[in-house]
């Protein structure tokens, strides 16, 4: 018998059940990102952190004009990192944060990236 009626179970070839067959809880959206957005902006700008907005170095010559210096651990060793913001990076972020939701992308380890973000946005008002 062909199951064309509304009481028949969903076919195994149906990719998704129709909304009428879902329970009310199944329609709740899933959130992958942060729950609270600082403000609602229409556009999003994604920027790469290290190399674009700032420059970091383990070499001592980076120390003389560094914006900040911190120590980070990596593979059972501690390293002193010298960070220098790119020219006008702060003004760039302040200006764009009025129009764009700014999200930072990096391949760096989480602890290291957090320390870099503290240098770049110490008040946590510019970057999401």
The residues spanned by each domain of the chain are: 38-120
> Which pLDDT value is given to residue 101?
92
Nearest to 86 by CA among 51, 110, 57, 111: 51
**CA 4 – CA 2 distance, rounded (Å):** 6
Give the model's pLDDT for residue 6.
52
CATH topology of domain 38-120: Rossmann fold (3.40.50)
Q: Tens digits of per-residue pLDDT, 20-42?
A: 454 454 444 444 545 455 556 67
pLDDT tens sequence across 51-81: 888 888 887 765 678 888 888 888 888 888 8
How confident is the model over 119-128, as pLDDT tens digits? 888 888 888 7
Q: What letters, b where the CB count within 10 A reaches 16 and e where it falls short, cover 81-104? A: bbbbbeeebeebbeeebeebbbeb
For residues 91 and 69, the answer to whether their CB atoms sit within 8 Å is no
**For residue 22, what pLDDT is reported?**
47
> Helices (DSSP H) in the chain: which residue ranges?
89-96, 110-120
**With bands split at pLDDT 50, 70 and 90, how would you rate the model's confidence at 92?**
very high
| Mean pLDDT, all residues of the chain | 74
Tell me the two tokens of residue 118. Answer: 């503290």
């Amino acid at each position: 018998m062909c199951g064309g009626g509304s009481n028949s179970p969903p076919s195994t070839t149906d990719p998704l059940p129709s909304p009428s067959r879902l329970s009310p809880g199944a329609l709740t959206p899933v959130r992958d990102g942060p729950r609270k957005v600082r403000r609602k902006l229409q556009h999003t700008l994604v920027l790469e952190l290290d190399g674009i907005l700032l420059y970091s170095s383990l070499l001592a010559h980076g120390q003389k004009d560094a914006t900040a210096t911190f120590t980070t651990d990596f593979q059972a060793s501690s390293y002193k990192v010298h960070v220098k913001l790119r020219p006008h990076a702060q003004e760039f972020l302040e200006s764009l944060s009025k129009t764009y939701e700014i999200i930072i992308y990096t391949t760096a380890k989480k602890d290291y990236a957090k320390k870099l973000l503290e240098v770049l946005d110490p008040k946590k008002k510019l970057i999401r």
